[in-house]
Every structure is written in C-alpha cells, then in structure tokens.
Amino acid sequence: MNQENQLQNQRPIIDKEVSWDKTQVIMSKTNAFGIIEYANEVFIDVCGYEDYELMGQPHNIIRHPDMPKVIFKVLWENLKNGKNFHAIVKNLAKSGRYYWVITDFDIAKDEDGVIVNYFGRRQSVPQEVISLHIEPLYKKLLQIEAASGVEFSEKYLIGFLEEKKRSYVEYIKELIFEHEKAQAKFAQYEEEDGEEEERGFFKRLFNR
Ligand SMILES: Cc1cc2nc3c(=O)[nH]c(=O)nc-3n(C[C@H](O)[C@H](O)[C@H](O)COP(=O)(O)O)c2cc1C
C-alpha cells in the first residue's frame, strides 16, 4: 500500500456532501502518471487541501472508497490512448465529505506524440442522476469487485451497457440530458427535439 492510500484510509469518511458553488469548474493538471502539478482555486476550495498538500501527489489523494475500480480502469484506458473521457466520479474531500462530479479532459503531447500532461475539468452532476442511476450502479460494481474482483465488475458493466445499447459515456450523457430536459433548463432543447451530438453536448456542458 502506498503512502497516499494509507493517508486515505486514515481519513474519516463522512456521509455528507461538501457545500460548493456548483456553477464552478474544478480543474487540475497532472503529468502523464496522474501526479498533480496544478489545481485551480475551485479545486482547492472544494477538496479542502492546501496547494502544498496536493502538488506532487497522485490524483487518488481525493479518491473516494465508494468509487468502483472499473471506472478508473476505463478512464485510464481512454486517457492513455489520448482520448477524452467523461466519467461520473465521487470524490473525497480532506474533511471526509464527498462531492460528485463529471469529468472532461484535455491531453497534451510533445512533438513526438508522447503524452506529457492531462488537464481534468469537472462540473457538478444533478443529484437526481446520482441517486436514481449512478449510486445504485456503482454500489453493484463495488459489491462485485469485493466478491470477485474488477474483472467481473467490468463484465457486469459491459453487460449493463450492452443491454442499454450505449457506451458508458453515451449512457451518462443521456442521464444528464434527460434530466435537463425534464427540468426544461434550456429552452433550445425543445427545438433540438432531443437530438444532440455527443461532442456538442459535452462542449456545451463544459462551456467549450
Ligand atoms: C487529470 C486527471 C484527473 C483526475 N481526477 C480524478 C478525480 O477527480 N478523482 C479521482 O478519484 N481520480 C481522478 N483521477 C484518476 C486518478 O489518477 C486515479 O486513477 C483514481 O483516483 C483511482 O486511484 P487508483 O488508480 O490508485 O486506484 C484523475 C486522473 C487524471 C489524469
């Protein structure tokens, strides 16, 4: 067990959400191995660590034990292949409280095409999406991991998504999109007739 995991295990887990300004974007930059090199003020405010406690640390410093391993496995498979990935993640603040986010990444490569940095941007996720869909799914994945390992939580996730005829990213996009539509938050949805190309959806979500 590495030092960060030990620290993580020593932290109290408090089943309460961090109170934060959910209009803000939480941003961090890492090297190719996920070691934190920069975090914006929102990141610092939400997770409760000081800059000096984060820089040089692996990003799993804010990993929440309720997160199934398989989600990070798929995330890293995409990032290492130079592909953006949108994951819904429960993070652990220094206080022991949690905060849910959806991710968006930029990947910087050197002139030889070797990945040198990742830029992670995170937005809040509607509570209803979490409690109705993501929490039950992640709970199952976590239970499967505890019983039979990540190999089988991955198989379950594949089966779950096959049944829905969606990739993971398509699935979470649809959950958020449907929620927003139901809330009639954005008038243009009606004009779009529910159709929005995936890239366009996440660009709008992250104001890009
Ligand atoms: C740019 C970037 C941002 C990341 N952001 C998070 C994050 O917000 N929360 C998190 O738990 N893991 C994040 N990760 C993934 C971690 O590196 C790590 O894989 C994860 O916390 C699981 O820990 P483990 O790989 O030690 O099991 C990020 C990785 C990168 C490259």
Q: Are 100 and 185 in contact (CB under 8 A)?
A: no
Residue 101: closest CA among 174, 176, 30: 176
Q: How far apart are CA 131 and CA 142, in angstroms?
A: 16
**Could you tell me if the CB of 63 is within 6 A of ligand 1?**
yes
pLDDT digits (tens, 9 = 90+) for 129-163: 999 999 999 999 999 999 999 999 999 999 999 99
Model pTM?
Answer: 0.90
Q: Are 24 and 41 in contact (CB under 8 A)?
A: no
What is the phi/psi pair of residue 201, to 5°? -60, -50
Q: How far apart are CA 34 and CA 54, in angstroms?
A: 12
What SS3 class is residue 105?
strand
Instruction: List the domains of the chain with CATH numbers.
Output: 3-123 (3.30.450.20)
pLDDT digits (tens, 9 = 90+) for 164-190: 999 999 999 999 999 988 886 555 555
Residue 89 CA: nearest ligand 1 atom is: 9
Query: Which of the listed residues 7, 44, 59 should we mutate to test ligand 1's pocket, taking the one with most ligand atoms within 8 A of CB?
Result: 59
pLDDT digits (tens, 9 = 90+) for 22-46: 999 999 999 999 999 999 999 999 9
What SS3 class is residue 102?
strand
Atom 13 in ligand 1: residue holding the nearest Cα: 59
Q: How far apart are CA 76 and CA 87, in angstroms?
A: 11
